[in-house]
């Protein structure tokens, strides 16, 4: 029986983790150590140990902070227990990460007084490897600190089932297809656990579609802010009903597509056979949607699935 070669040497630890590792060694708590040899012939050490959950500092009875993750940042919605967006507290500011100061615009905040904001980290969309992991961690810290300041838990999409996307921009879709959304959700969840901030993951289907039809125009916000609002409302337990205004929007699209702009419409544009079949399905689904169970209202092939295709075909 042969033994693995013994490796000896000095272990370098980041300053922010040194005290924690020292406390771990002195406490006698069990832990595991994994040595990983890289391509550069350097060894890296992964130390794993159990963490005791801190006391929660957030209260779901106050509402949720809805978070919609994107390749270049995250959209946040401050939502009360009534399911409506609520203005930011007086004097509220988003904590600026001290580590990001390489160039102007590296960390951007766009805040709306009615309870929405967007945190943009442009480098996040094209960085790779350790740099991207680091930026995701920075973004996660800012999101968690914001929720902690508000005293509200975080609502996120459960990306085990994929992410709902509602965009026709090819460049954005290409970035979104290659972006590790699940890694960002895991980073926020892990940081929230350490800080005593509650997290609730919700079914991700149709959040952007619902936001587009019901809330984007009403509050004058982007599709990402609207999706964050839907995510928070879903975490609270609200159903998304088909309203009179939404029916009027569908009818307006139908009338627009029925008008012949010229005698030879472009291929795949206007009131095509496919679009006619789509309206036929919508007529049946819209009439019964509000009476369905929440599970059926949010299912993949619900009315929102057809409404998404309708919006995309009318652009």
Closest CA to 202 of 164, 170, 244: 164
Task: Confirm whether pTM is higher than 0.75.
Answer: yes
Delineate the domains of the chain, giving CATH numbers in brackets: 15-49 (no CATH), 60-236 (3.30.420), 244-313 (no CATH)
Q: Supply the pLDDT for residue 166.
A: 55
CA–CA distance, 68 with 66 (Å, rounded to integer)? 7
**Confidence grade of residue 269 (pLDDT, cut at 50, 70, 90):** low
**Confidence grade of residue 71 (pLDDT, cut at 50, 70, 90):** confident
| DSSP helix, strand, coil percent of the chain (3-state; round to 5) | 45, 15, 40
Tell me the mean pLDDT in the region 22-47: 83
Q: Is the pLDDT of residue 170 over 90?
A: no
CA–CA distance, 308 with 170 (Å, rounded to integer)? 17
Choice between 166 and 69, residue whose per-residue pLDDT is larger: 69
Q: Supply the pLDDT for residue 178.
A: 54
Tell me the mean pLDDT in the region 42-63: 86
Inter-residue contact 150 to 57 (CB < 8 Å): no
């Amino acid at each position: 029986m042969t033994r693995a070669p013994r490796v000896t040497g000095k272990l370098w630890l980041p300053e922010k983790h040194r005290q924690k590792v020292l406390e771990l060694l002195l406490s006698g708590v069990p832990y595991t150590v994994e040595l990983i040899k890289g391509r550069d012939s350097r060894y890296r050490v992964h130390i794993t140990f159990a963490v005791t959950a801190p006391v929660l500092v957030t209260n779901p009875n106050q509402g949720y902070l809805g978070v919609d993750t994107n390749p270049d940042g995250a959209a946040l919605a401050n939502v009360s227990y009534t399911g409506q967006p609520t203005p930011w507290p007086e004097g509220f500011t988003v904590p600026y990460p001290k580590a990001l100061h390489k160039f102007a615009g590296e960390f951007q905040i766009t805040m709306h007084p009615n309870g929405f904001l967007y945190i943009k980290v442009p480098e996040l969309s094209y960085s790779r490897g350790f740099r991207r992991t680091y930026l995701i961690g920075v973004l996660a810290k800012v999101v968690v600190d914001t929720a902690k300041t508000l005293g509200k838990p975080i609502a996120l999409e459960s990306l085990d089932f994929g992410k709902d996307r509602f965009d026709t921009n090819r460049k954005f879709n290409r970035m979104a297809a290659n972006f590790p959304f699940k890694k960002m959700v895991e980073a926020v969840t892990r940081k929230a656990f350490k800080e005593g901030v509650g997290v609730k993951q919700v079914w991700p289907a149709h959040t952007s579609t619902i936001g587009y039809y019901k809330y984007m125009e009403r509050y004058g916000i982007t599709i990402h802010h609207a999706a964050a609002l839907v995510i928070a409302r879903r975490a609270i337990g609200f159903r998304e009903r088909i309203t009179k205004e939404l029916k009027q929007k569908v009818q307006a699209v139908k009338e627009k597509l029925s008008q012949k702009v010229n005698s030879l419409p472009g291929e795949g544009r206007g009131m095509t056979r496919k679009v006619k079949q789509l309206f036929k399905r919508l007529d049946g689904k819209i009439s019964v949607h509000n009476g369905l169970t929440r599970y059926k209202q949010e299912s993949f092939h619900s009315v929102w699935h057809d409404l998404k295709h309708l919006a995309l075909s009318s652009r």
